[in-house]
Amino acid sequence: MKGSALDSIFEFVKYGLTGWGWLEIVIFTLAVTHITIAGVTIYLHRCQAHRAVELHPIVSHFFRFWLWLTTGMVTKEWAAIHRKHHAKCETEEDPHSPQTRGLSTVLWQGADLYRNSAKDIPLLNRYGHGCPDDWVERHVYTGRSALGVSLMLITNVLLFGVVGAAVWAVQMMWIPFFAAGVVNGIAHFWGYRNFKSPDTSANLIPWGILIGGEELHNNHHAHATSPKLSSRWYEFDIGWMYIRILQAFGLARPRSLPMSDVAVNPNKVEIDAATIQAILSSKYELMARLSKRVHKFQASVANTNAFSDLARTAGQLRVDFEAIWSQRALSVDQTIEAVQQWCQRAEASGISACEEFARRLRMMTVKSAI
Judge whether 77 and 141 are in contact, CB under 8 Å: no
pLDDT given for residue 55 in this prediction: 97
CB 75 within 8 A of CB 64: yes
Q: Which of 219, 216, 210 is nearest to 257 (CA)?
A: 219
Please give the average pLDDT of every successive group of 10 residues along the chain, which has 370 residues: 56 72 93 96 95 95 95 91 88 85 82 85 89 90 90 93 92 86 87 87 94 94 90 94 97 85 87 89 86 86 69 90 81 90 93 92 82
Q: What is the 3-state secondary structure (H, E, C) of 109-153?
A: HHHHHHHHHHCCHHHHHHHCCCCCCCHHHHHHHCCCHHHHHHHHH
**Residues 220-251: b if buried by 16+ CB within 10 A, e if exposed:** bbbbebbbbbbbeeebbbbbbbbbeebeeeeb
CB 353 within 8 A of CB 315: no
H or E element in which residue 164 lies = helix 163-175
CA dist 99 and 188 (Å) reads: 8
Residue 366 contacts by C-beta under 8 Å, 6 or more apart in sequence? 261, 262, 263, 274, 277, 278, 281
d(CA 298, CA 193): 21
* Sign of the dihedral defined by the CA atoms of residues 166, 169, 175, 178, in that order: negative
pLDDT at site 1:
45
Ramachandran quadrant class, 21 (left: phi over 0; alpha: psi -120 to 50; beta: rest): beta
Cα 319 from chain centroid (whole Å): 27
- Other Cβ atoms less than 10 A from the Cβ of 71: the count is 25
Task: Give whole-number Cα distances, 345 to 229, 319, 349, 357, 358, in Å.
Answer: 34, 13, 6, 12, 9
From residue 252, give the alpha-carbon distance in Å to each of 54, 58, 61, 150.
6, 10, 13, 31
Q: What is the pLDDT of residue 295?
A: 87
How much is the pLDDT for 204? 94
| Contact status, residue 226 vs residue 199, Cβ threshold 8 Å | no
CA–CA distance, 237 with 219 (Å, rounded to integer): 11
Q: Which DSSP state fits 367? A: G
Measured between its terminal Cα atoms, the distance across the chain in Å is: 84
